[in-house]
Amino acid sequence: MQTVKQMVRKWVPRAIETPPCPVEVEESAYSAMFSLFDEPGRPTQRLIELALDAVERAMKDVEVEGSVWPGEELRLLGGLMLAMRPKVVAEIGSSNAKASEVMKKYLPEGARIVSEVAGAEFILVRGPGDGKFEEQVLEQLGGLKFEEPPIVMFNDTRRWEMLRFCREIRYPKLDMTSFGRWTGTLLVELSR
């Protein structure tokens, strides 16, 4: 009888069971930690300075009523708009009225938010967080030519389904989760 069970387990593995969350919280999700010393896509000086400037501006100059910060990316988005002063911002994927409203509020006069990425200096990717959609978007963006490398922002980057995609990005990148969305925020500089 034991051999039959063993044979069945080879063909039908047990479902993976995750332990209960060790703390009481409203929402939780499993993720993983990875070493940084062997990760591709180390951040550039530009990306680090931009992130520092954006966080400082988000703290001092950005107000978003009803937003939890840190925990949501809205104030960080406002800080990025103030730090970068982009003329063209592109949104890819599902629309988020609140994020669009915050970006518009903190963009310089005459700047615009579009759905086409041509000429964009900042690109907000709003995908399903499955890693597949985001990988396709990044691959398409990588094939385009830009005057200056745009900054691309991905959310939900700490979700289990996104871990492989984010880890394998070879462009300069910087994890902004502590100042963005609690499920993960990543800035990517599309430089070659």
Distance CA 15, CA 26 (A): 25
Residue 93 and residue 126 in contact, taking contact as beta carbons nearer than 8 Å:
yes
Q: Residue 59: how many CB atoms within 10 A of its CB?
A: 12
Question: Would the pLDDT of 6 be above 80?
Answer: no
- Calculate mean pLDDT across residues 75-87: 98
Q: Do the Cβ atoms of 57 and 83 come closer than 8 Å?
A: yes
The answer on pLDDT for 27 being more than 90 is: no
CB atoms within 10 A of CB 168: 13
Residue count (the chain): 192
Q: Quick check: 49 pLDDT over 90?
A: yes
Q: How confident is the model at residue 36 (pLDDT cuts 50, 70, 90)?
A: confident
What pLDDT, on a 0 to 100 scale, did the predictor assign at position 35?
86
Residue 138 has a pLDDT of: 97
Reported as half-sphere exposure (CB side, CA atoms, 13 A), residue 187 has a value of 28
Tell me the pLDDT of the chain averaged across its residues: 91
13 pLDDT band, cuts 50/70/90, is: low
Please tell me the predicted confidence (pLDDT) of residue 32: 81
What pLDDT does residue 14 have? 66
**Model pTM?**
0.88
- Say whether pLDDT at 25 is over 70: yes
Residues 99-103: contacts with CB within 8 Å, 24+ apart? Answer: 99/73, 99/74, 99/124, 99/126, 102/62, 102/64, 102/74, 102/75, 102/77, 102/78, 103/77, 103/78
What's at 114, amino acid-wise?
Answer: V
- Token pair for 105: 């509020």
69: pLDDT strictly greater than 60: yes
Which pLDDT band, with edges at 50, 70 and 90, does 1 fall under?
A: low
129-178 pLDDT, tens digit per residue, is 999 999 999 999 999 999 999 999 999 999 999 999 999 999 999 999 99
